[in-house]
A = this chain, B = another copy of it.
């Protein structure tokens, strides 16, 4: 038998008469701490300052909802088949928060955190930004967090997010670097490539020292809320059957006729 490593978790534990979360009795949190601050406590191991709370709530609120996305459509289709398992429909919706969306929050946070982690404090951030752009350009890879297919000029969420971060003293080197990356990318690639919402959120989450490996988790936890709201609407006024019948009819039509 191999040598055993001790199992240990510091997130929370429960006994017959207590649940303790990050050192706080859950009973003391109920009614005293709001959901966003509870999420901060879970992730950071301590309650937020009021500044941190404002900023953390701002980035998670931004991620809750984006209308009728592939993720909400998947959740609604799944609910149609398994209405007894709301959790399955939410899970289906979450599964679409991968490389093309939630993953970009993670990707830009990784870039910012690893570059700034390796750079001396006096480093020229514009040069760091140029390096990032150049490396992606030569590898023909998209820079995450920059540009937006729909909001071509400016993503309206971005200036607001940066404003909230600055107003709360949480607009530091990560935010500066992501902006410089947007600038340098626009220059190098001859088109407007402003920071988009995932870029701003990846930068601000990095200011809050949330490790890049869980930054897409911010999108996942927030979007879970939005998915429940979409499913509530689906319960009352289902769209899935109509979408299904239209798609099925059209997709099979030509094949049927041959």
Contacts and interface: CB of A to CB of B under 8 A. Distances in A.
Say how many copies of this protein the assembly contains: 4
A26 B96 contact: no
B255 A150 contact: no
A214 B106 CA distance: 25
Interface in A200-247: 211, 213-214, 216-218, 220-222, 224-233, 235-237, 239-240, 242-247
B94 A19 contact: no
A141 interface: no
Interface string A53-89: 1100110111011111111011101101111111111
Given A39-B225, A91-B91, A34 B57 contact: yes
B6 A250 contact: yes
Contacts of A7: 239, 242-243, 247, 250-251
A188 interface: no
A29 B231 CA distance: 22
Contacts of A191: none
A242 B132 CA distance: 33
A82 B77 CA distance: 17
A43 B82 CA distance: 21
B9 A233 contact: yes
Nearest to A53: B34
Contacts of A248: 13-14, 67-69
Contacts of A71: 77-78, 81
27 contacts: A6-B254, A7-B242, A7-B247, A7-B251, A8-B251, A8-B253, A9-B251, A11-B230, A18-B156, A30-B58, A30-B157, A31-B57, A31-B58, A34-B34, A34-B61, A42-B225, A42-B229, A67-B252, A70-B77, A81-B98, A81-B101, A84-B84, A87-B220, A88-B96, A211-B232, A221-B221, A221-B228
Given A19-B156, A82-B97, 8 more contacts: A11-B226, A13-B68, A20-B256, A80-B96, A84-B85, A87-B96, A89-B95, A90-B220
The 7 closest A-B pairs by CB, nearest first: A82-B98, A13-B252, A81-B96, A35-B36, A217-B228, A42-B229, A31-B164
